[in-house]
Amino acid sequence: MISIIYVARDAPMYLGTFYEFSSIFISILVLIHCYKMRGKYDTIKIYLIGMIYGLILENGGPLILPQFGFEGFFWENNYKLYLFEFFGYGIRISKVPIATHLGWPMVFYIAIIFWEQICRAFPKIKHHTIISGLIISSSGLMFDLPFDIIATRFNWWVWNENLLPLWFGVPLVNYLAWFWAVFMFGYFWTVLHNKKEKNNWSESKLTKNLAIVVPLIWILDTIGFVLSKELFNLFGLIYI
Amino acid sequence: MKIKLLLKIIWNNLIPILIIYFLLDVLISILFAWNNTIYGFSQFGPIIFISLIFPLIWIFIYVLCRKIENNKNKIKREEDL
């Protein structure tokens, strides 16, 4: 399925501005939906904690630290709105655009709604934390499997030219990163919600505990990603 | 009144509707790029298939689980009566 010719890191985007602003609009719409339907604490858990978690992870993608072997996985250089650079003015502290940052909690919200609907039909699943994590993760992947093909073709993000473009131009590391990021978040989400039910935690305590475990989720996610990347690299599926 | 009701239905089912929106968004983007020599698609068939199949699987599972939940609630209500 190798099918794409690599382009320059700052190659012009096709429909990029449309993607950027429609993504921000939909994210805000989903944020309002989350707040109205689920209240303050779920909005904090998904939209604040989830976004900070995603912000740290996403910035690992373009990170270049040759002394530590980081060559950068992808770049998103041509957007209008970054933290805190707007239309080319200001200081860019995050190499990832705001549209992408806002996309993370939206994906978490969609994935959690998917899992909750499955749990309402099959309540026993709720107590199987690994299966729950896999369901949440599968929702994220179902969203990303088609979307990243388009994003790659239209230069919404540009991949490191050393990565093997396995899935219609998208490297496998993208899906490994997605899997581990959403799986770990989903796993800890279900673990903590089960503990809340068992120990009668308040929503406030649950929210605080989720915020506290974010560094642990991030570390476990990184370990899982690096190990699986190395494993697939043994089969020649990561680099050209 | 009908518009208000429609908006309420959309709001209450926003997430599955968003999935359909993403599906259409992806398909329309592919159509826009159809004849573009830089961004054009050389593997149209498989890409359109993938763009359709994964969001449809999501919606199918979601709707199926909702139907199962409704059936369970209906049976429970009948038992309670």
Interface predicted TM-score of the whole assembly (ipTM), two decimals: 0.87
Distances (CA, A) of B22 to A167, B16, B43, B45: 19, 10, 20, 18
Span B29-39, average pLDDT:
73
Lowest mean pLDDT among A95-109, B12-26, B62-76: B12-26
Taking the C-alpha atoms of residue A181 and residue A53, their distance in angstroms, rounded to an integer, is 9
As given in the structure block, the two tokens for residue B59 are 């919606």
Q: With a cut of 50, say whether residue A166 has pLDDT above it.
A: yes
Domain ranges of chain A: 16-234
B66·A154 Cβ contact <8 A: no
Taking the C-alpha atoms of residue A116 and residue A98, their distance in angstroms, rounded to an integer, is 28
* pLDDT value for A2: 46
pLDDT, mean over chain A: 90
Q: Which of residues 14-53 of B touch A (CB under 8 A)?
A: 14-15, 18-19, 21-23, 25-26, 29-30, 32-33, 36, 38-39, 41-43, 46-47, 50-51
Q: Does residue A84 have a cis peptide bond before it, meaning omega lies within 30 degrees of 0? A: yes
Span A112-132, average pLDDT:
95
Taking the C-alpha atoms of residue A104 and residue A43, their distance in angstroms, rounded to an integer, is 13
Q: With a cut of 70, say whether residue A1 has pLDDT above it.
A: no
Taking the C-alpha atoms of residue A103 and residue A97, their distance in angstroms, rounded to an integer, is 10
Model-level pTM? 0.91
Span A116-129, average pLDDT:
95
Span A213-230, average pLDDT:
94
* pLDDT value for A69: 61
User: Angle, nearest 10°, between helix axes A98-121 and A172-199?
Assistant: 50
Residue A220's pLDDT band, with cuts at 50, 70 and 90, is: very high
* pLDDT value for A20: 93
As given in the structure block, the two tokens for residue A50 are 């989830």
